[in-house]
Each structure stands twice: as C-alpha cells, then as structure tokens.
Amino acid sequence: MLTVEKIGGTSMAALKEVLSNIIFYKEDHIYNRVFVVSAFWGVTDLLLENKKTGAPGVYHKIAKHQNFHGNLHDLTLKLKEINRRYTDLGLDVAAADEFIETRINDAQHYLENFASILASGYVSQDSILQAAREILASIGESHSAFVLTNILQSKGLNATFVDLSGFHDTKLYTIDQRIRHTFKEIDLAKTICIVTGYTKGTEGIMREFDRGYSEVTFSKIAVELKPTEAIIHKEYHLSSADPGIVGIENCIPVGNTNYDIADQLADVGMEAIHPKASKPLEIHGINLRIKNTFDPAHPGTLITTNYICPHKRVEVITGTDKVVMIDVFDPLMVGNAGSDLQIMQIFADFNLSYIFKVTSANSISILIWEKHFNKKLVKALDAYFEKTTVEKMAMVCLLGTNMDQPGLLARSTTALTESGVNIKSAGVALRKVNIQFLVAREDFNGAVKALNNALSESI
C-alpha cells in the first residue's frame, strides 16, 4: 500500500506527535510512504508575510529596496532555535544548523544580486521580485524536510531527503518534470521519503499558486505516483461546524464527503485542500483522507469523487465573516441583457472572482473577499451605473452531498429568525449542495450556532 501524505505547518511544529501518531503509529507500514512537509509553523510568515495579518517578512524588505540582511540573520537564529527543540528526538543539531546556514547564505547571495539588478532600473521589477519570492519560500520547507529526515535516520530508518527546491540545479524543469525526474530512481518500497512542500519549476509555483504551493506539490506527487490513498494531516478534524464557535461537544467529524463539497468549503475559506490541488486528485480518481494529527485512531474524513450520503442530511455548517457585498444599482438594467456582462468584465479587469451573486430587476449584488476589495473598483462601476453600495457582511453556509429535503430552508430561516439574526440575502443553486445566508458580521457566530442547534439531528 503506497500512500502520499502531507503534514501541515502546525503539525510539523509538534514533531514528537508526528513521529508517534503518524510515522510510527502503524509499525508495519513505515516504507512505501511519501511525506510532503510544510515549513514549521510561522516560518513562511517570516520569509514572506503573515498569512492572516499581512505583517511583512523578508520579502517585503527586498520589494521596498530596504536592507534585508538583518531579517535573514534573525531568521537563521529562529531556525536554529527550532533545531534545538528537537535534540531529544535524535536530531543532529550541528548538521541541521550547518544545513540552514549554508542554505540561507546561498539565498542571501542570490538576493543581493537581485537587489543590485533592481537598483539598476534596467529590468522588470515583477520578474525579479517573483524570483526572490520563490527562493525565500523554498527555505522553510527545505529546513523542515531536512530536520525530519535527519531524525528518522537517527532512529535507524532508511529515510530519503527529497529536496525539490532545485536550489543549485540549473536544469529548466517544469514542476511536473522535476517531480517525475526526482522520483524515477527512488525505490519507494525500501525507503520513507520526506519531501519539500516547495517545488522549483519554470512556471513558478508561487506565481501560479502562491501560499497554496505545498498542497499543489503534494497533489502533483500523488498524480505521478498513483498511491492507494492521499492523506493530509491537520491539527484538527474536518468537522460539521467550527468547534471554536459551537463547542467541540456540539459537532462531529465529517466521515465521508466528495470533492464538490471540498470545493464549496474552499470557496468560503475553510480549506480541506487547496482547490487547485484537489482538482488533479479528483480527475485521476485518487481518494483523499483528512486526518487529525492528534487523534490518530480516528479514520478522519474520506473525500472521494462520487460519494453521495445515503440519507438526506447537512454535512457541514460553515462560512466566513471576512466578506463584503457590492451592490450595483441602475434603473436601466431591467430588460438589458448586457448589464451583468459589463459588471463581470469590470470585475475581471480587477482580477476579482466572486463567491455569491444575486440579481433583481435593477440591481446585482456580488460578494467578494474583503481582502480583495479595491476602492478603484467602485469608481469603475460608478462610471457606468447609477449607484454602487459596499457593505461588510458575513456568510453562513449549509453544505451536503444529499440535503435536498422538504422544509430544510424553512427550518433554517426559522432558526435564524428566532435567534434574532436578520437575513440580508440568501441563495441556493439548483444542485442544492450549498445553501447560503448573508447576515451582518456581528451575527456570524450566532447564526452558525442557531443553524447547528436547529439542524444537529440531521448532521
């Protein structure tokens, strides 16, 4: 049984549990396993920017033509501090320190050259900065993969460090070509592979997928190796609702679902897997299991292509309070076949995709992520339409592979009404795998709780 498995950054920070709960949990299944690892928790934030707050990392010093050497020095100290945490697990700290010193020194040399080229003003800033971003991103995964490999080797395992960062490789491979070339000589039955979540390729994995790159590497390796199962180890279960909102006692792990629901989850920011990573798995018929690192006995959530729940129920209640609604009004819209097209073209010009849209005779309301909102968008819309209104909102969703049941919508709206939540807008597509309610931001948690309480018997 061959498995390709992904270990996230938060789980990687708990290496003791990774060893006991994942790698050694089934002692008869050590080899024929490929582990794609993220950087240790918080490291990529220091290299690029904080994923949640946007706080700048080393990359932004370079982008602003500022001195970045101090930041790289601090990063080296941080990674050495991480190394020392794992002495008792068998890590050769001296070897790990030497590895990261060499890697960061080499990266610094490249980045200094980039800074000089940027200062000349003769080349495109975008291409140089993208290359800098790629180099920086690769450091975190190379470090974590080296550390885990070294620990496993110290325990007598035949562990192979698979560094896909191509740091000193001048061959012009695409991402797929690099993966294929790297694995063709590895006997998977006789080794456990620890692989960097970053892969160097001519198309640029950061350019194509940004911070979702480690899951894309994981997906591409799975497609290449065709495992029995692909597995992602996270620090939590994929649950019927957010335990932090409804309480862990009021939700359950999702046992089975399909890739359509995985896409719906990603659309509202609750990623079981990055949508650009899930699609190749779906197309190639590779089953994906989401497991909780800290609950190894639980089978987790199995995501397959064709799963349909045998009985009607809501599988997940989720949503986000980080969205804004853009309402475009014009009395000339009624009967005009081109209004929607014109609005969508303006959104495309700003490289914006939406996650909800509803129309009436004279208005079209579109929901986007707040972080993607640009005030210039309103100006562009106002140039063609009478009035554009922007309002901060939250969206709560009911998701399920088989939840088309009489009365579900009525029970949901009643639950929200009785809890004092005003529904600002709502929508459901014909396939009925996602029912969406737009509410005020301050009502988000209350809406999730109300729906969970009202529908818990059908989950």
Instruction: Tell me the three state secondary structure of residue 148.
Output: helix
Q: For residue 459, what pLDDT is reported?
A: 67
Q: For residue 53, what pLDDT is reported?
A: 83
**Helix, strand, coil share of the chain (percent; to 5):** 45, 20, 35
As given in the structure block, the two tokens for residue 163 are 């560094």
Q: For residue 54, what pLDDT is reported?
A: 81
Apex CA 2: angle with CA 167 and CA 99, to 5°?
A: 25
Q: For residue 121, what pLDDT is reported?
A: 75
Residue 402 DSSP label = B
Helix (H) or strand (E) holding 233: strand 229-234
Helix (H) or strand (E) holding 99: helix 93-120
Residues in Cβ contact with 120 at an 8 Å cutoff, skipping those fewer than 6 apart: none
Residue 100 DSSP label = H
The helix-helix angle for 125-154 and 69-85 (nearest 10°) equals 20
3-class secondary structure per residue, 3-56: EEEEECHHHHCCHHHHHHHHHCCCCCCCCCEEEEECCCCCHHHHHCECCCCCCE
Cα separation, 142 vs 40, in Å, equals 10
The structure tokens 């018929």 sit at 285
As given in the structure block, the two tokens for residue 102 are 């060499």
Cα separation, 25 vs 102, in Å, equals 34
Residues in Cβ contact with 129 at an 8 Å cutoff, skipping those fewer than 6 apart: 59, 62, 63, 114, 118
Which amino acid type is present at position 393?
A: M
Q: Cβ atoms within 10 A of the Cβ of 219, count?
A: 28
Rg (CA), the chain: 24
Q: What are phi and psi of 25, to 5 degrees?
A: -65, -40
Q: For residue 119, what pLDDT is reported?
A: 81
Q: Which of 33, 24, 28 minimizes the C-alpha distance to 225?
A: 33
Query: What does each of the 459 residues of the chain score in pLDDT, given as a tens digit?
Result: 899 999 999 999 999 999 999 999 988 889 999 999 999 999 999 999 988 788 889 999 998 889 999 999 999 999 999 999 999 999 999 999 999 999 999 999 999 998 888 887 777 788 899 999 999 999 999 999 999 999 999 999 999 999 999 988 888 999 999 999 999 989 999 999 999 999 999 999 988 888 889 999 999 999 999 999 999 999 999 999 999 999 999 999 999 999 999 999 988 888 788 888 999 999 999 999 999 999 999 999 999 999 999 999 999 999 999 999 999 999 999 988 899 999 999 999 999 999 999 999 999 999 999 999 999 999 999 999 999 999 999 999 999 999 999 999 999 999 999 999 999 999 999 989 999 999 999 999 999 999 999 997 766
Torsion 59-62-66-70 (CA) sign = positive
Pairing, β 316-329 against β 387-399: antiparallel
Q: Which of 235, 234, 246 minimizes the C-alpha distance to 317?
A: 246
Cα separation, 69 vs 26, in Å, equals 44
Task: Tell me, rounded to whole angstroms, the distance of Cα 321 from its chain centroid.
Answer: 18
Distances (CA, A) of 77 to 94, 327, 332, 341: 13, 49, 62, 53
Q: What are phi and psi of 307, to 5 degrees?
A: -65, 130
Counting other chains too, the contacts that 62-65 makes at CB distance below 8 Å and 24 or more residues apart are 62/111, 62/114, 62/115, 62/118, 62/129, 62/132, 63/129, 63/132, 65/115, 65/118, 65/119
Q: What is the pTM of this model?
A: 0.91
